[in-house]
Amino acid sequence: MKNKEYEMILAEERAIANVQAMAIRLLEEKKIRKAQLARDLNVSEARISQIFGGDPSNLTIKKAAQLFFAMGEELVISCRKIDEMNARAEKRNRELASLSEVKLDSYGWIKSSQLEPANGAESRYLPAEAAA
Residue 96 banded pLDDT, cuts 50, 70, 90:
confident
pTM attached to this predicted model: 0.63
d(CA 17, CA 14): 5
Q: Which CATH architecture has domain 3-70?
A: Orthogonal Bundle (1.10)
User: Tens of pLDDT along 12-27?
Assistant: 989 999 999 999 999 9
Domain boundaries, the chain: 3-70, 100-132
Question: Is the predicted pLDDT of residue 91 greater than 70, yes or no?
Answer: yes
User: Tens of pLDDT along 44-68?
Assistant: 999 998 888 887 777 889 999 999 9
Lowest mean pLDDT among 19-23, 69-73, 100-104: 100-104
Residue 72 banded pLDDT, cuts 50, 70, 90:
very high
The pLDDT, as a whole number, for residue 104 is 56
The pLDDT, as a whole number, for residue 56 is 78
* Contact call for residues 20 and 52 (beta carbons, < 8 A): yes
H helix runs in the chain, sequence order: 3-30, 34-41, 45-52, 61-70, 80-99, 128-131
Residue 36 main-chain phi, psi, to 5 deg: -65, -40
Residue type, 91: K
* pLDDT mean across residues, the chain: 82
Q: What is the mean pLDDT of residues 29-56?
A: 91
